[in-house]
Structure 1
Amino acid sequence: MCLQLFLHLVDMIRGKEDKNRLEGEMGMSKKIQGTVVLMRKSMLDFNGFHASFLDSVHELLGKRVSLQLISADTADPENGMEAKLGQPAYLEELNKKLSSTAAGATIFKATFDWNEDIGIPGAFIIKNHHQSEFYLKSVTLEDFPGLGRIHFNCNSWIYPTKKYKYNRVFFPNQTYLPSNTPEPLRKYRAEELAILRGDGTGELKEWDRVYDYALYNDLGDPDKGPDYERPVLGGSSEYPYPRRGRTGRPPTKKDPETEKRLFLLRLDIYVPRDERFKYLKMSDFLAYGLKSVMQVLFSEIIALCDCTPNEFDTFQDVLDLYEGGIPVPRGALKRIREIIPLQMFKEILRSDGERPPKFPTPDVIKEDETAWMSDEEFGRQMLAGVNPVSIRLLQDFPPTSTLDPKLYGNQTSTINEKHIEQKLDGRTVDEALTNNKLFILDHHDALMPYLKKINTTSTKTYATRTLLFLKDDGTLKPLAIELSLPHPKGEQYGAVSTVYTPAEEGVEKSVWKLAKAYTAVNDSGVHQLISHWLNTHAVIEPFVIATNRQLSVLHPIHKLLHPHFRDTMNINALARQILINAYGVLENTVFPAKYSMEMSSVIYKGWVFTEQGLPADLIKRGIAVEDPSHPHGLRLLIEHYPYAVDGLEIWSAIETWVKEYCSSYYPSDEIVQCDPELQSWWAEIRDVGHGDKKNEPWWPKMHTVAELTQSCTIIIWVASALHAAVNFGQYTYAGYVCNRPTISRRFMPEPDTDEYAELELNPDRAFLKTITSQLHTLLGVSLIEILSRHSSDEVYLGQRDPQEWTLDPEPLKAFDRFRNRLVKIENRIKELNEDEQQKNRKGLVNVPYTLLCPNTSEDSTVGGLIGYGIPNSVSI
């Protein structure tokens, strides 16, 4: 009582500032100033369409939002020795504006009362007593006594307290192994992980933050009828698959094993709220999605007035998609005006009112509209195109098969020496084999088991083998293409095959052109389903889930990997909703149709985690051999292989960065073995996330720093560089359907048939009637235009958002070295692309290989169809 009277007199005589100083000297509370950056809910956010949102700043003031600091080093004996808590602080208006604040963000101040006997703050609790959620970007204590600035990266949606049964807790950008975590924080660390794991029950709601696993049992819709049924992928030896994020939706009425689907156009399929697209990306996604839908709608209406609906009659018809759009006949124009609102009609038509907006011209035809037809370009794209990961060294001649002969009979290739011996630049076949000059694009074994089913649909296609010769100038020359079908008497009788070889004139030239088209159809499907979807999108999702369930945000490996998981769960959820589902866009635009995902499941049987790293992949495909005298310890058998040359530079940079980072926290193998979060993380990835492969012997044991480094390097490579290589070139090469058809609708014309006569008289029309139809082309091109675009808020390899991601100096220095190395790699790639000796870099189409060129520009807002840049994650 005397002390309070004394302080009151001091306050009257010397003012409040001296009071605060005396309180501090006597062990009483100090005033710690903090800034809080948050964003109001936007109508463009996924869940913002029908919910209320914060209209003005003042609604958050008063006692609407509280923050309470948690001690990192002082326990409270009166509360079971749990961490001591500071007094709640509330948001206050901040007078100054910060120019660096993100668009839409608001800065508040908060004044914290903090007693010295409580110690150093190691976390804080935030409670939202407002009616709606907001996005909390960061909290900063500006001048904490003895420590200075303490920063908390939050980047999370905060829902009203009534939505939670627990406190929302945030930690500063400090890093702790579990064993090094301050004792008062351990409870909060463990509780946060338990919250993120959930209890495995119930349908998850938008405010839930649960990361959990489910089978791919949400692709079919049996309640619509048998045509919409699809097998459950995952959980069986017949259809193994990586796991996806659980939503907890109820089962369908007709099949209790299949999860009920949302209405097709709903985009709010559950993923943890913080995994959803941010404002800018969602805006881009909706804008380009609407544009693509309108292009298809226009073209379909126009087709009603066409003499051959849904067909391209000439190559110029295809080019018209890009050269000003398809002219709109007057009758179609009138119909369009009847069904489209006036304002939308004005927005999507050009000023002349006669043409819809055109697709951008794909790079592959920008300079030369016919160069794609050449054999040289056909071979070059296997090394520098959209699917540069399938070609391999031919080691046996004729090519052999790994299919079970008891089930599939003799599947050995019928390509023989007579087909190719005159095209080997003076070498014999044995000499070409010995000198590593023969390569193959072999889709035979992957497709043959499904070909009979596939060809019962509207698709009519083959399993292909394409043989190529490596010339002395480093380019590939196609030698022969084999087209195979199952034996008509039954698959057990083997394959029926025909071999085609290059020709430069007559009907044989047209036949060869069609043979290349069938190869491109095979390669397009394998690329989209396997190289792209399965080997990047699908296999990475279990790592995203396990990392959030088992590694605290304080854990160094969580901080290392988290940027490489941005938007992956969201884009995969959207894919399940509208792309890879029954009768989704993918089934309508690639040749395996309704068997697409089922086929990818069968191919997943051969997936090996340790072979996903680039060096191991190149060695497996016979493209490289180990050689310590060469850079990266590998000698490329195709020296001018842009994907491999650039990829090895990127791989090495990632590997060095990961090694330096991991070694700063794990100086010994024993620390790896004794880290309970790390061991739980790896066990869950193996036993649950990729549970259908949990007994495979090739899984790293996670007993050494080397195994940790290898595993994290593979994860980052797949999520960043590999995905960039197989995704962002899609529009460049497949935006022009003649170069990369995705469907074949009839078999190769046979002599003495009407189709063969048409091929002789009008080869262009026969070609166009064989490949993807007009409607499917429009759907496919619309899709890949969206998928090939970089978001305007993309974060690229070598960048971090936020930049204040750790306080530890050694990782920060290592990351600077990583970023500087990427700058050098980018400059080197630009030099190689200007080297005329590097014939596979640009080819006859004059498209430089930039898909593995890092975007190290300070301007990270560059987006669109830029054709370069490696995003950190599988984000589109």
Structure 2
Amino acid sequence: MLEKTLQIICGKAQDEPKEKNKIEVTKIKGTIKLMKKNVLDLNDAGASFLDRVYELFGKRVSLQLISAVHGDPANGLKGELGKAAFLENWVSTLTSVSAKDATFNILFEWDESMGVPGAFIIKNFHHSQFYLKTVTLEDVPGHGQIHFICNSWVYPQHRYKYNRVFFANKTYLPCNTPEPLRLYREEELINLRGNGSGKLNEWDRVYDYAYYNDLGSPDKGKEYERPVLGGSEKFPYPRRGRTGRAPTKKDPNSESRLPLLNLDIYVPRDERFNNVKFSDFLAYAFKSIGQVLVSEISSLDTSPNEFNDFQAVLKLYEGGVKLPNGQTLNKLRERIPWEMLKEFLRNDGERPFKLPMPDVIREDKSAWRTDEEFGREMLAGVNPVIIRRLQEFPPASKLDPEEYGNQTSTIKREHIEKNMNGLPVDEALENNKLFILDHHDALMPYLQDINSTTTKTYASRTILLLQNNGTLKPLAIELSLPHPQGVKYGVTSQVFTPAEHRLEGSVWQLAKAYAAVNDSGYHQLISHWLNTHAVIEPFVIATNRQLSVLHPIYKLLHPHFRDTMHINALGRQTLINAGGVMEMTVFPTKFSMEMSSFIYKNWVFTDQALPTDLLKRGVAVPDSSQPHGLKLLIEDYPYADYPYAVDGLEIWSAIKSWVTEYCSFYYPVDDMVKSDPELQSWWTELRDVGHGDKKDEPWWPKMQTRDELVQTCNIIIWVASALHAAVNFGQYPYAGYLPNRPTISRRFMLEPGTPEYAELASNPERAFLKTITSQFQSLLGVALIEILSRHSSDEIYLGQRDTPEWTSEAQPREAFERFGRNLVEIEGRILDRNMDERWKNRVGPVKVPYTLLYPSTSDTSKVGGLTGKGIPNSVSI
């Protein structure tokens, strides 16, 4: 019975060819939407002129339809080709200078006996490339309208060693691909894989893998050397996209880098930002001149200004701050491109960096300092994915005691019970009322190296009490350093407990700042970069290499990969590279990426599922009565709420329902998953190559059942969309005010009897600011996260597609529409929860509602910027 079912499902998708008695030629009208390069790049006058001249001497863009029914025996049974047709009125068709679509007409001559066209070949004989969006055929005999969704750059024909082929929006598993299209399908995948060698150029469409061997610049000196991440047991890492650049002279294992300000890094052309988004990105990036400005200032002015008090920090948002001095400005003008410096100066030469007001201080300038807000942001801030329920006391370490000695916490019962309103520790543990923000084990192995730089910080543990009003009350912060005789002897620790007034209150504020520094660095390097950007890139590469555009799983996942490879390439070029902005502004400095490699050792793909993550962190228990299969323990208490988890579980469940419906349509039985060669090649390559350092882990789904396919796709979409939104778009609202989320500490906790400690007593704000991120680190860091926190004006959000004709199958389209309606209902419930004042963690003392997981599917205005809400489909910034 199963064999018969598979034969029916995977049988030929077309009727047997009929004998052609005579040729019946019909005219098929076509409409083509594209954008010309010379419109998108207004400075390319040469392309505009040459293309117009060439067009006058002949037809320069041709299309040939390919039959999905009849194969040509003389061409390996590939689909028969129709007569070439040419784009009409290239010169006379007006094109908008704002990079909008231009519409062209085309007329095909088509032999009706060849049946339905399933693809076409396009040849571009112009001087320059164009962006082909869609081709629509009208009134195809016996079939009506046919859509081709292209969304691809088509370069001049001499750039290719093969024909550019585009397929109609019909979806086929490999086994039921019409035979005349099968070889075209297979050849297209071969073209996208490339041959694994040589430098890749902008017109190449090659998706391939490389290690993270492009972060350092060893030819510049030892200071710029960085280890290769990936391909070794010591430094495992996900793979990135290959560029094929030459190796460095000093280290043949390291890839040479482009000049810092050269952002023309190879990624497959269709993975690059569109021109509108890239222009917006560069405009905001000018505000963050990056390491060039910082290094120039460091070399020209050895005493950069400090913030004297919190009011001085506020001037960033109320009127800007002055650069160090006029002499430095003049020197900078000599050594930095004027266009960049002009944007930085905001054209007045006095007060650069007048930044938008961060939400965390918009309503109340001091509420961020409260203990309640400190705890709330662990549940509803920019990094709500670390806090876990404390299940043993004192907190233990998982670090190997033979290598790291005794790392058990020194927090004692008397430290915390004095603030627990008479509740004993054991009873609090039993009733799930103790929580911990634990950055000890992740940082301790690298802390000695980190503190050998300008950073002076600790590994922290923060214990909190869940109160009856639903808020988290910090009870103690432990700050630990490696033992003076070496980390193998364990640690030395200090424990700080809450205080509100006088000197004790200032010391407590500093203790919270050290914990925040840990959380900020871990957030940026792990929660954000590693666990969304880096881990998703291999999925982008493997999907394009192994799944045809005709494949249903390609169509499901492709929207969730938009712009990811490009933003990651830009990150490697300017942010996470040796001496880059990240090393300049985050506490691990030159050890940042090495530390993220160490933490990747513990990465588990299946743990990225939100329900699994919440169970692992002990904040939920299994509950089969719930649609997502679990119950949040924090909800056992009146008005307690974990906004990230509550909203996230609704989004997770909506994605799962959509993915289940979609996959069930194409894979009605498990054997179809096992027997799908493209799917199996995709999954094998993803594990063995894309995440090759993890290939032998037992937790990978086997990809033998539909449930495993649903689980895998659910996780990929969740990570690329909702998880990234939760840890990215709250950066500026919360961390745009650096005292709330400092990223570096420059000195250790102040000791009694020292001048610094006396300053803490006499001028606590100045002492606080001299301890955390410096003024220019703040300027650079805040400018960076402003860029990263912005939605682009052309954002495509979860539940949206860039075209309604993304597939020709009615049932998947209807399921997707249900998904969109489901997300709209979730939006309404999020708004209702945020307006209910009983839920203390929804808004908090700073009066910032939790909207990071508000999907924005019902927002049709497409307004970008610092909205603080919305789930883009992909890791696109």
Same fold (TM > 0.5): yes
1:469 matched to which residue of 2?
Answer: 465
Within-5 A mapping of 1:520-599: 520-599=516-595
Q: Deviations over 1:667-696 (max 9, x none)?
A: 000111110000000001111100001010
Distance 1:294 1:653 in 2: 40
Distance 1:711 1:100 in 2: 42
| Contact 1:333–1:354 (Cα < 8 Å) also in 2 | no
Distance 2:94 2:824 in 1: 30
Asked if 1:54 is matched to 2:48, the reply is yes
How far the C-alpha of 1:28 sits from its partner, in A, is: 3.0
Letter of the structure 1 residue corresponding to residue 766 of structure 2? R
Asked if 1:213 is matched to 2:214, the reply is no
1:393 matched to which residue of 2?
Answer: 389
How far the C-alpha of 1:95 sits from its partner, in A, is: 12
Letter of the structure 2 residue corresponding to residue 809 of structure 1? A
Letter of the structure 1 residue corresponding to residue 177 of structure 2? T
Distance 2:117 2:533 in 1: 39
Asked if 1:380 is matched to 2:381, the reply is no
| Contact 2:300–2:331 (Cα < 8 Å) also in 1 | no
How far the C-alpha of 1:861 sits from its partner, in A, is: 2.5
1:660 matched to which residue of 2?
Answer: 661
1:725 matched to which residue of 2?
Answer: 726
Letter of the structure 2 residue corresponding to residue 243 of structure 1? R
Asked if 1:124 is matched to 2:123, the reply is no
SS in 1 for 2:664: helix
Distance 1:175 1:261 in 2: 40
| Contact 2:627–2:653 (Cα < 8 Å) also in 1 | no
How far the C-alpha of 1:465 sits from its partner, in A, is: 0.3
| Contact 1:302–1:332 (Cα < 8 Å) also in 2 | no
1:322 matched to which residue of 2?
Answer: 317
Distance 1:488 1:71 in 2: 75
The TM-score, its normalising length taken from structure 1, stands at: 0.93
1:834 matched to which residue of 2?
Answer: 835
2:783 matched to which residue of 1?
Answer: 782
Letter of the structure 2 residue corresponding to residue 833 of structure 1? N
SS in 1 for 2:181: helix
2:11 matched to which residue of 1?
Answer: none
| Contact 2:795–2:872 (Cα < 8 Å) also in 1 | yes
Q: Deviations over 1:68-94 (max 9, x none)?
A: 111101012343433211011001139
2:7 matched to which residue of 1?
Answer: none
In structure 2, the CA distance between the partners of 1:92 and 1:81, relative to structure 1 (3 Å rule), is same
In structure 2, the CA distance between the partners of 1:237 and 1:303, relative to structure 1 (3 Å rule), is closer
Letter of the structure 2 residue corresponding to residue 556 of structure 1? P
1:310 matched to which residue of 2?
Answer: 305
2:478 matched to which residue of 1?
Answer: 482
How far the C-alpha of 1:57 sits from its partner, in A, is: 6.3
Distance 2:631 2:855 in 1: 23
Within-5 A mapping of 1:747-762: 747-762=748-763
SS in 1 for 2:606: helix
1:13 matched to which residue of 2?
Answer: none
Within-5 A mapping of 1:235-384: 235-293=231-289, 309-326=304-321, 331=326, 335=330, 355-356=351-352, 358-384=354-380
Distance 2:313 2:413 in 1: 39
Within-5 A mapping of 1:648-727: 648-727=649-728
SS in 2 for 1:66: strand
In structure 2, the CA distance between the partners of 1:373 and 1:811, relative to structure 1 (3 Å rule), is same
SS in 2 for 1:320: helix
1:7 matched to which residue of 2?
Answer: none
How far the C-alpha of 1:561 sits from its partner, in A, is: 0.1
| Contact 2:291–2:579 (Cα < 8 Å) also in 1 | no
Distance 2:333 2:645 in 1: 53
**Which 10-residue stretch deviates more, 26-35 or 785-794?**
26-35
| Contact 1:133–1:160 (Cα < 8 Å) also in 2 | yes
Choose the corresponding residue for 2:419, options 407, 416, 423: 423
Distance 1:691 1:299 in 2: 37
| Contact 1:302–1:329 (Cα < 8 Å) also in 2 | no
The TM-score, its normalising length taken from structure 2, stands at: 0.93
Letter of the structure 2 residue corresponding to residue 632 of structure 1? H
Q: Deviations over 1:503-530 (max 9, x none)?
A: 1112111110000000000000100000
| Contact 1:440–1:466 (Cα < 8 Å) also in 2 | yes
Q: Deviations over 1:803-853 (max 9, x none)?
A: 210010110010000000000111111111110001001100000000000
SS in 2 for 1:92: coil
Q: Deviations over 1:838-871 (max 9, x none)?
A: 1001100000000000111352521000000000
| Contact 1:245–1:271 (Cα < 8 Å) also in 2 | yes
**Which 10-residue stretch deviates more, 90-99 or 811-820?**
90-99
How far the C-alpha of 1:100 sits from its partner, in A, is: 12
Distance 1:360 1:159 in 2: 41
| Contact 1:299–1:326 (Cα < 8 Å) also in 2 | no
Runs of at least 5 residues in structure 1 that lack an aligned partner in the other structure: 1-23
2:30 matched to which residue of 1?
Answer: 34
Distance 1:334 1:122 in 2: 62
2:603 matched to which residue of 1?
Answer: 607
Within-5 A mapping of 1:624-639: 624-630=620-626, 632-639=628-635
Runs of at least 5 residues in structure 2 that lack an aligned partner in the other structure: 1-19, 636-640
In structure 2, the CA distance between the partners of 1:251 and 1:334, relative to structure 1 (3 Å rule), is closer
Distance 1:348 1:101 in 2: 28
In structure 2, the CA distance between the partners of 1:285 and 1:44, relative to structure 1 (3 Å rule), is farther
1:110 matched to which residue of 2?
Answer: 106
Distance 1:289 1:809 in 2: 43
| Contact 1:852–1:869 (Cα < 8 Å) also in 2 | yes
RMSD across aligned positions (CA): 2.6
How far the C-alpha of 1:660 sits from its partner, in A, is: 0.3
Distance 2:112 2:865 in 1: 52
In structure 2, the CA distance between the partners of 1:102 and 1:816, relative to structure 1 (3 Å rule), is farther
| Contact 1:463–1:522 (Cα < 8 Å) also in 2 | yes
Letter of the structure 1 residue corresponding to residue 874 of structure 2? S
How far the C-alpha of 1:758 sits from its partner, in A, is: 1.4
| Contact 1:176–1:554 (Cα < 8 Å) also in 2 | yes
Q: Deviations over 1:338-391 (max 9, x none)?
A: 769999998776798754351101000011111000000000000000000000
Letter of the structure 2 residue corresponding to residue 645 of structure 1? V
**Which 10-residue stretch deviates more, 195-204 or 35-44?**
35-44
Distance 1:297 1:271 in 2: 27
| Contact 1:34–1:110 (Cα < 8 Å) also in 2 | yes
How far the C-alpha of 1:291 sits from its partner, in A, is: 3.0
Letter of the structure 1 residue corresponding to residue 142 of structure 2? G
| Contact 1:409–1:493 (Cα < 8 Å) also in 2 | yes
Choose the corresponding residue for 2:498, options 502, 517, 522: 502
2:166 matched to which residue of 1?
Answer: 170
In structure 2, the CA distance between the partners of 1:582 and 1:355, relative to structure 1 (3 Å rule), is closer
How far the C-alpha of 1:401 sits from its partner, in A, is: 0.4
Choose the corresponding residue for 1:448, options 441, 444, 456: 444
How far the C-alpha of 1:334 sits from its partner, in A, is: 8.4
**Which 10-residue stretch deviates more, 540-549 or 325-334?**
325-334
1:516 matched to which residue of 2?
Answer: 512
Distance 2:338 2:224 in 1: 36
Q: Deviations over 1:221-259 (max 9, x none)?
A: 110111111001000111110000011111111111101
**Which 10-residue stretch deviates more, 798-807 or 111-120?**
111-120
